[in-house]
Amino acid sequence: MKVPGSKLPGLRGRKVSDLPGLAAVARIDRRTKRLTKRLKPGEIAIIDHVDVDRVSAEALVACGAAAVINVAAGISGRYPNLGPQILIEAGVPFVDNATPELFERVADGDAVRLCDGVVYVGDEVVGKGEVETGESVEAAMAEARAGLSLQIEAFAVNTMEYVKGEGRLLIDGVGVPEIRTRMENRHVLVVVRGYHYKEDIATLRSYIREYRPVLIGVDGGADALLEAGYLPDLIVGDFDSVSTKALTCGAELVVHAYRDGRAPGLERVHQLGREAVIFPATGTSEDIAMLLADDKGAELIVAVGTHATLEEFLDKGRSGMASTFLTRLRVGSKLVDAKGVSRLYRNRISTPQLLLLVVAALVTMGVALLASPLGNTWLNAIQDLWNAFIFWMVGLFS
């Protein structure tokens, strides 16, 4: 794409040369999740992300990235991660295994030009990488699937290590803090801004309206609830990806801390003048949200945007996914995925049944009125009005 002789906003006044390729603003960050908060449509994202996962890719697509340049291996071969394929299918150019010096030679907000995998600032080459295609991604995915058994073995080892470290929390609930929010004998909806969370929340509107579950937002899941028009009762997480609006909406806050008690997210809470409960645990924030709901007596836990399959566990690319697997074993009898609820749940009274009930009630009222003296009086009055109307109409044409 050419942008001849024009200036791009935020580029320190630099002109874009009339040369082939894609010219745009560059946004650069080693953490993809942090970059997507400031990436605007039409800008080029420069990331450092081994095994680009599905959630990150969907976020980049949703932000309207013009292209994605990755200085790491988008598909390392450890397992068949879904991110690169999502980018390619969405039509976002994806340059992989780019030269790491890009992070030194490109500043956030610079004007860059991308052409055939080569990155330019002005006329200077500052880096280059491999342009991925649907065929190359599919070949890498096929190779990764062949080695999946090794990742399953590593996953099992990580699971055993987690059991040794967090066995008392998983089995006996030791370390679960006290909170104000009451969940006993209630449904609890845990929302993570993950896989298809928007669609899942939309399909649960009738369920939420009827059962009024306790709403727990896990970090950015709190913003997802606010965007859907709901006010979270509880927000759980390390608060690195949740908005100030959500943290100050009045929900009770639970800060996910390290096992040694360090809680980096607590400082932000105090800066906002809020108080929070600390929950030290090794697992992920979505795990401790479920353990909290289970420990506080929730009757049912409905999960939105969380991880449900082995491929999704591995797609996060970290050993902590072992905690997710074991947490689901711990709360398994109560846990239901949002998709299952939307498929099985129906309103107790459907719309046709409700209309039929209204019609039956009106008919019953009509029969009762006709059978009573008052009903006969009304009927005679209606007949008189009708006869008067007919007489008036005849008079108009006579």
Q: What is the mean pLDDT of the chain?
A: 82
- Say if CB 190 and CB 306 are below 8 A apart: yes
Q: In the numeric block, which tokens belong to residue 23?
A: 């010219």
**pLDDT digit string, tens, across residues 179-230:** 999 999 999 999 998 777 888 898 899 899 989 999 999 999 999 999 999 9
- Say if CB 38 and CB 44 are below 8 A apart: no
Helices (H), the chain: 32-35, 54-63, 83-89, 102-105, 134-146, 148-172, 197-203, 205-211, 221-227, 244-247, 265-271, 285-295, 310-315, 321-330, 338-344, 351-370, 373-397
Q: Which residues contact 85 (CB under 8 A, 6 or more apart)?
A: 134, 137, 138, 141
Q: What is the pLDDT of residue 2?
A: 38
Q: In the numeric block, which tokens belong to residue 377?
A: 């009086």
Backbone angles phi and psi of 368, in degrees to 5: -65, -40
Q: What is the pLDDT of residue 365?
A: 65
Q: What is the pLDDT of residue 216?
A: 97
Nearest to 91 by CA among 61, 131, 118: 61
Q: What is the pLDDT of residue 305?
A: 83
Q: What is the pLDDT of residue 336?
A: 86
CA distance 51 to 57: 11
Q: What is the pLDDT of residue 37?
A: 87
Q: In the numeric block, which tokens belong to residue 31?
A: 């953490």
CA distance 243 to 249: 10
Rounded (5°) CA angle 240-246-250: 125
- Distance, C-alpha 186 to centroid of its chain: 23
Q: For the chain, which residues score pLDDT lower than 70?
A: 1-18, 147-149, 151-174, 307-322, 324-325, 339-354, 357, 361, 365-376, 378-379, 389, 392-398
Nearest to 349 by CA among 209, 144, 202, 178: 209
Q: What is the pLDDT of residue 332?
A: 77
Q: Which amino acid would we find at residue 389?
A: F
pTM: 0.61
